[in-house]
């Protein structure tokens, strides 16, 4: 089917006009395609990552190593999704005083400057993370071109320290509450009694 900007339009879940390359802390969630439990199992209350899950963990930790303006906070790889807090550090400041938005800039698009994630932005970082993990996982399972992650991702701008601590706790508790997690395969189509990451 030929590409149609109307038929193939996907609504962005990004905050309109917010500059995601600006200094700040962001809570991100990525889900595996079709919610497949690809990355391991929860045993008791602990996540046991498999070979694919370890690739995800390894590439996530590399994020801050290869990008001097990025710091990682609490994160967890789950059987079919991933949660993490990513901090974009203002090059002229420090991460300790940048929780929340510091500036808002609407991107401009033209033939010279096409729309897309700005280099160093949350979107660009997540796009690169998804790309490299997909490539490595598909090399191992010999499935070139197969989708690992769902399109897009969920993100939340963390506004203050209280919110940051609440999200840290949610991430830390994630594996212990897997049985009632909204992403658990047994809960498909059913509401979860656990607070959802979408409600944070």
Question: How much is the average pLDDT of 83-108?
Answer: 55
Question: Please, are residues 85 and 26 in contact by the beta-carbon 8 Å criterion?
Answer: yes
CATH number of 24-184: 3.30.70.1290
Look at the block and give the residue holding tokens 């370890």.
54
The residue extents of the domains of the chain are 24-184
Question: How much is the average pLDDT of 25-33?
Answer: 96
Question: How much is the average pLDDT of 159-170?
Answer: 93
Q: What is the pTM of this model?
A: 0.75
Minimum mean pLDDT range among 17-21, 56-60, 80-84, 132-136 = 17-21
Q: Report residue 22 as tokens.
A: 């600006």
Minimum mean pLDDT range among 60-69, 74-83, 126-135, 179-188 = 179-188
Burial class (CB in 10 A: 0-12, 13-18, 19+), 192: middle
pLDDT higher than threshold 70 for residue 1: no
pLDDT of residue 63: 94
> Looking at residue 43, what DSSP letter applies?
E
Give the helix/strand (H/E) hosting 157.
Answer: strand 154-158
pLDDT higher than threshold 80 for residue 115: no
Three-state secondary-structure class, residue 119: coil
């Amino acid at each position: 089917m030929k590409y149609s900007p109307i038929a193939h339009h996907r609504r962005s879940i990004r905050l309109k006009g917010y500059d995601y390359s600006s200094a700040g802390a962001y809570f991100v969630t990525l889900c595996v395609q079709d919610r497949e439990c690809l990355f391991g199992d929860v045993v008791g209350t602990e996540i046991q990552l498999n070979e694919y899950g370890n690739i995800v963990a390894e590439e996530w930790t590399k994020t801050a190593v290869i990008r001097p303006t990025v710091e990682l906070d609490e994160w967890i790889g789950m059987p079919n999704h991933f949660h993490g807090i990513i901090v974009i550090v203002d090059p002229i400041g420090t991460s300790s005083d940048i929780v929340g938005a510091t500036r808002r800039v609407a991107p401009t698009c033209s033939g010279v400057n096409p729309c897309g994630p700005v280099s160093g932005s949350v979107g660009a970082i997540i796009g690169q993370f998804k790309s490299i993990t997909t490539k490595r996982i598909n090399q191992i399972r010999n499935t070139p071109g197969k989708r690992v992650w769902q399109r897009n991702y969920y993100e939340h701008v963390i506004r203050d320290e209280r919110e940051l601590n609440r999200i840290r706790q949610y991430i830390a508790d994630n594996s212990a509450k897997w049985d009632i997690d909204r992403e658990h395969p047994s809960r498909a189509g059913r509401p979860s009694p656990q607070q959802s990451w979408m409600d944070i």
